[in-house]
Structure 1
Amino acid sequence: MPPVSINGLPLEAILSPYEDKPELVQRIAHRKVKAPELAIVEPDPQWLDHFQTFRSRILAAFEQPQGPSDEVQRQEDGDTAIRVTIQSINHVGSTSVPGLPAKAVIDIDLVLSSNTLSYEPFYVPRLEAAGFQFILREPEWNEHRFFASAWVEPMSCNLHVWGPQCPEVERHRIFRDWLREHEDDRELYATTKRECATLSREKGEDVMQYNSRKEEVIRQILTRAFTELGYL
């Protein structure tokens, strides 16, 4: 019998992907720095080092002294300001899988103790000061916030900010770890990425349309991972 929960998350939430709803996306800004070209490049061992650079910037940003903007919410029974703390910083996406071709973009899942609207005055200025531009807010999708690197060094970065106990973070981890350990699906995903990127460039599509082209193969790979893990 499958487990009821994984790492404190209901199994059903992990197994059920979110249905994309573009009309609910709240755009905050347009990118200051142009996104990289939609091209799949060969794996680069330096991607892991670049992740560590971005990770260090994020950690340093949250170590800044507390100021007036930190008092974003107060406990009902006192005057102690509630701060936002980092729960995890995870390298995800294709650049996190050694040997996997990818777009030249580092993807990071930043999990905070809370990332909802009332806490933005705490963490948004810190992340923007560290070189991450606030682009999108998606409250319906596990309170997802999307930031993009506003600097060109060391390379482009997509920063996804989530709150605690987020099923999407668990899905990203499972997918990453599966590809690291299974060469056949790693090769399948590499082929799919190249084919989808070529088609999207030929048709003048954007990265969201490219991502949609990959969805069926991602779903197949996750199903195999869920099955072997005993979740299905």
Structure 2
Amino acid sequence: MQTHPLWRPFNPGANAARQGERVASRQTAPGAVQAHDEDWGEQFEGTRRVLTESIGDLALSISHVGSTSVPGLAAKPVIDVDLIVPDVEDEHSYMRRLDAAGFRLIFRDVMSGDPHRQLTFARPNTNLHVWSPGAIEPQRHVVFADWLRTNPTDRLRYNAAKAAASAGDGSARYNDLKAAAVYDIYERAFAADAHHAHDPHPRALVE
């Protein structure tokens, strides 16, 4: 069986499991899912400016990712940003400056085998994901967003999954409730990738 290099197994409880790695609470609550807001792009630019001013050349790349980066996609009004630094584990090089700029560290964990730091920012409400070069998750984020920008059917499917997750049991994790839809969208994106072969990995076989 051929597998795309960015494929990861279906893990419906991943978000709930990682809560044990939380080191602080966010400054601003995520809010409810809402229709796409054209202002989200400008809010990202505001966050980008704060990052550039605070850590300068340490910011190897700053990317708007997640649902707020995809026109036509509903989202919680939180800007997701991927920040690549020379070494995410060298916190002394960047964390104090981010803290001084108003960011707060809330997770210190590992995702897809790569060390990861998640910080939040109050205004605009932001999730800042910090990675080292070559990390897998930022590459997955690009694939996911690019696919949704060009596939209206999957945008509708994902919007429906978000609505269902929002209406779910309040004790459940929103991200975990939509995990199946996310996995299936990745499967279609990987199968369509002309640069890497990928045989179907349906959830029934990998759960």
TM class by smaller structure: 0.7 to 0.9
- The yes-or-no answer on 1:45 pairing with 2:25 is no
**What is the DSSP-based 3-state SS (H/G/I as helix, E as strand, rest coil) of the residue aligned with 2:104?**
strand
In the superposition, the TM-score normalised over structure 1's length comes to 0.76
Partner SS state of residue 71, structure 2:
coil
Matches within 5 A, 1:145-224: 145-149=117-121, 151=122, 153=123, 155-199=124-168, 203-205=169-171, 209-224=173-188
Please give the TM-score of this superposition, normalised by the length of structure 2: 0.84
Task: Tell me the distance in 1 between the aligned counterparts of 2:9 and 2:41.
Answer: 27
Structure 1 distance, partners of 2:190, 2:138, is 15
Residue by residue, what CA displacement relative to the aligned partner does 1:118-137 show, whole Å, maximum 9, x if unpaired? x1111111111222101110
Rg bigger for which structure? Answer: 1
Higher relative contact order (CA 8 A, sep 6+): 2
Task: Judge conservation of contact 1:108–1:158 (CA < 8 Å) in 2.
Answer: yes
Tell me which of 138, 141, 160 is aligned to 2:109.
138
1:18 to partner: Cα distance: 8.0
1:57 counterpart SS class? helix
Specify every segment of 5 or more residues in structure 1 that has no aligned partner in the other structure, as ranges. Answer: 5-10, 64-83
SS state of the match for residue 181, structure 2?
helix
Write the letter of the residue equivalent to 1:145: R
1:35 aligned onto 2:34:
no
Offset, 1:188: 0.8
Give the aligned length.
192
Identify if the C-alpha distance between structure 1 residues 156 and 23 changes in structure 2 by more than 3 Å, giving closer, same or farther: closer
RMSD: 2.3
Q: Specify the alignment match of 1:108 in structure 2.
A: 81
CA separation in 1, counterparts of 2:22 and 2:40? 28
- Unaligned runs of 5+ residues in structure 2 are 199-207
